[in-house]
Amino acid sequence: MFVLEFKVKAKQQQYQAINDAIRTSQFIRNKCLRYWMDNQGVNKYDLSAYCKVLAHEFKFANELNSQARQASAERAWSSISRFFENCKKKVSGKKAENAVLGSPQVKQFSKTGYPKFKKFSRSVEYKTTGWKVLSPKTINFSDKKGIGTLKLKGSWDLGYFNESDIKRVRLLRKADGYYCQFVLSVEVKEEVKPSGKCIGLDVGLSSFYTDNEGNKIDNPKFLRKSEKSLKKLARRLSKKKKGSNNRKKARARLAKVHLKVSRQRKDFAVKLARCVVHFSDVIAYEDLRVKNLVKNHCLAKSINDAAWYQFREWVEYFGVKFGKITIAVPPQYTSQNCSSCGNIVKKTLSTRTHICKCSCVLDRDENAAINILKNGLSTVGHTGSKAWGENASTLMEEILSKQVIFVNQESPPQIGVRVSKIAWP
């Protein structure tokens, strides 16, 4: 499974409708839980049937799409079944054997994660009905909650995927606004043999990326070209009188160039990412945050960062698709540390060569790429095998055996790792 996330742009009343849908979903989940508590031997299918009863009984429950109601019941069931699994694992064998679904004595095992009522749900989940993708950046929700059509903001293009690949759609409320997630089933259509290669990528302004062997990929020419014309058109737009027809025309021209660039950028990102992932087993790269990217005022840098960010998302996508491992490494110190001895060698942005006392002389970006790969490989061992499919875990063993070559055992860097967006094994 692979999750695409977009920020949602909508009117205030639409946000209220999303809140209402989230509340209803929580209500159904809690009601199902209560039903399970009060009745012996309730199973998954009983909860599913109970959704219908709730829809009859409560108007606001009926307003929510029927599959979204089912999804809420499934949420209740997943916390119930998790509880039973915990009982089996943690509680002594005798009690676990006696643990019959829905039996009251089981409910007393408080330490085994007895399911709780939710008070602050922040999401509602639709399955394959109740919504439709209208264009690459708009989605319509058609149930009676009145959410309507939402604009989506993000670098992904939904047009690239088949609608039948979208298995679930979630609406989420976060601290900084509302989000829409698409859960895609990514089939591994292509059998890719392990290449035995691990690659570290360093992003820079002088080249699109440099890998740990010193190979550089140039910035695509269209980025430079479009940077120039974007600048020119933006300047022209700013000179036109507000509200005038000329201003409208200028804005349309600017929007057209933006669209063209974004298409080219996507094309470039998809092709390059596919290639990189195809020929490597492990791909480590810097974990650059969107927030930091937006803050940057230098146009060349921001265009570059956008391209890089999209590239990274596609690397993660193909990582899931081809069963490869992708690791985002925090960017701290990757350029300052010596990749050979670990000493800090301070550099300004203009220092292009890494020269260390230990006689290590490397291209600045190559040195960084090696550090990124090292950091990435040293964290693979900490991720645990939970998130991985079967293929990946055998691959992981291979990698762990290789790790010895790469990692300095004395001081493994303490860093977090974000493995590709895999959800719901």
Binding site residues, Zn ion, CB under 5 A? 338, 340-341, 343, 356, 358, 360
- Among residues 189 and 357, whose Cβ is nearest to Zn ion? 357
- Among residues 74 and 202, whose Cβ is nearest to Zn ion? 202
Cα(22)–Cα(119) distance, integer angstroms: 11
- Among residues 74 and 365, whose Cβ is nearest to Zn ion? 365
Q: How far is the CB of 214 from Zn ion (least distance, A)?
A: 17
Q: How far is the CB of 285 from Zn ion (least distance, A)?
A: 23
Q: How far is the CB of 329 from Zn ion (least distance, A)?
A: 19
Backbone angles phi, psi at 232, to 5 degrees: -60, -50
Q: How far is the CB of 339 from Zn ion (least distance, A)?
A: 8
- Among residues 53 and 341, whose Cβ is nearest to Zn ion? 341
Burial per residue of 102-139, b for 16 or more beta-carbon CB atoms within 10 angstroms, e otherwise: beeebeebeebebbeebeebbbbbbbeebbebeeebeb
Q: How far is the CB of 338 from Zn ion (least distance, A)?
A: 3
- Among residues 355 and 387, whose Cβ is nearest to Zn ion? 355
Q: How far is the CB of 201 from Zn ion (least distance, A)?
A: 21
How buried is 187 (Cβ within 10 angstroms: 0-12 exposed, 13-18 middle, 19+ buried)? exposed
- Among residues 202 and 316, whose Cβ is nearest to Zn ion? 202
CB 8, CB 177: distance < 8 Å? yes
CB 176, CB 31: distance < 8 Å? no
Lookup: tokens for 125: 């989940």
Cα(222)–Cα(204) distance, integer angstroms: 17
* Torsion angle of C-alpha atoms 5, 10, 12, 16, degrees rounded to 10: -50
- Among residues 299 and 358, whose Cβ is nearest to Zn ion? 358
Q: How far is the CB of 345 from Zn ion (least distance, A)?
A: 7
Q: How far is the CB of 209 from Zn ion (least distance, A)?
A: 23
Cα(314)–Cα(333) distance, integer angstroms: 25
Q: How far is the CB of 336 from Zn ion (least distance, A)?
A: 11
- Among residues 183 and 372, whose Cβ is nearest to Zn ion? 372
DSSP state of 359: S
3-state class (DSSP) for residue 209: strand
3-state class (DSSP) for residue 415: coil
Cα(167)–Cα(171) distance, integer angstroms: 14
CB 51, CB 70: distance < 8 Å? yes
Measured from the Cβ of residue 151, the count of other Cβ atoms closer than 10 Å reads 15
Cα(184)–Cα(317) distance, integer angstroms: 10
- Among residues 277 and 356, whose Cβ is nearest to Zn ion? 356
Cα(302)–Cα(305) distance, integer angstroms: 5
